[in-house]
Amino acid sequence: MDSTAENPSTTRFREYLRIQSVQPQPDYDGIVRFLLKMADEIGLEKRTLELSPGRPIVILTWRGTQPQLRSVILSSHTDVVPVFEEFWTYPPFAAHKDKDGNIYARGTQDMKSVTIQYLEAIRQLKSEGRQFLRNIHLTMVPDEEIGSHLGMGLFIDHPEYHALNPGITLDEGLASPTDEFSVFYGEKCVWWITVHCRGDPGHGSRFIENTAATKMHSVITSFLNFREKEKKRLESNPDLTLGDVITINLTKVNGGVSCNVIPSEMSTTFDLRIPPTMDLKEFELQIESWCRAAGMQVTFEFHKKSIIQKITTPEDSNPWWKAFSDPCKEMGLKMKPEIFPAATDSQYIRAAGFDALGFSPMNNTPILLHDHNEHLNEDIFLRGIKIYSRIIGSLASVPPLAGEEDTETRVCPAE
């Protein structure tokens, strides 16, 4: 395809993809320059905030006619995960577009596409002379791919964030390989657990009783048997998604000093993702019972233990959900509310008491985040801009809610 004739939105998307904001050394300076340039072009207020050295947060603002109302926040992260270039068909930061319009680059799905779709939707709305009740803020934050501790984790507690007066936040979702669009209204609780098994040591030639290895075998069996039950439950019920079941994966095994010495201690680590609808205390008691069943001197520790169970109600009784879903219905989009199976910055937003929806307008698209040959089709990308323009306009036009100051300002209706 002739790149000189391509849609300008695509050109800007590819330019953003070429900035190597890849962990562990993201080019955040390049990101900031690009985003501030976009703000100037579109006519948005701009500022940067650095709560951790070298990790800038970019905040862009389009003022509403009633700025005292709670705002619409369009959240995205600026970093991307590492690549193994030898497994890529095209260089992962070249933003190559093939003859079918597929754009290959790290970040095409996770989540530079969404950042540009936000910006291009607002560019379009402003060019049409539109005006809305509520402030619209774009917040582009660092370090999501390494846990957000120095990104959204700091930002959410800072006065600058609360000064944005959040009402509803849109954040990233996932691609969908079907006609449906996934909309995430909650996230799983992430538990990383290491189980320590202590037992009697001895020579490798003997049948030593009460070994660490036999205890660890019992623990692993209990965890993986439960994993298999959850997997079968998911596979046997078409109404369930990955976000509705507990996933368990064994990720590390440690122990031993020599081939002929029975170790006195072994340990195994598990990654668990638990739906926010589960009784967390009851499930922790289940884990304790598996450890007790393995024998004496079996203990466990948490490396991460999320207990955030807040969700954004995906029903029309929630005015934010209604304002999000109504334009989707009008466009004939098939929306599927789900629990996100992993973790995004939305976990911090909901924990702080604010509504958030995870949405990436990428249907009929293979899920390739963090994968080799991550790509997104140009037509899907461009359609997402139109989708966001309708959704953003609808959210920013939500009339004053209970507790908000009501005024008589007129605005152009959302189309």
Q: What are the structure tokens assigned to 37, written together?
A: 């340039």
Only one residue has tokens 């139109």, namely 386
Q: What is the distance between the alpha carbons of residues 144 and 132, in angstroms, rounded to a whole number?
A: 30
Residue partners of 193: CB distance under 8 A and separation at least 6: 269, 270, 272, 287, 300, 301, 302, 303
Only one residue has tokens 């970019």, namely 58
Instruction: Please spell the DSSP secondary structure of 105-169, one letter per residue.
Output: -TTTTTTHHHHHHHHHHHHHHHHTT---SS-EEEEEES-GGGTSTTTHHHHTTSHHHHTT-EEEE
Residue 282 CB neighbour total at 10 angstroms: 8
b/e sequence 65-98, b meaning 16+ C-beta within 10 Å = bbeebbbbbbbbbbbbbebeeeebebebbebbbe
Contact between 78 and 19 under an 8 Å Cβ cutoff? The reply is no
Catalytic residue among 110, 143, 144, 374: 144
Q: Does 144 participate in catalysis according to the annotation?
A: yes
Q: Does 378 participate in catalysis according to the annotation?
A: no
Residue type for 380, please?
A: I
Residues with a known catalytic role: 79, 144
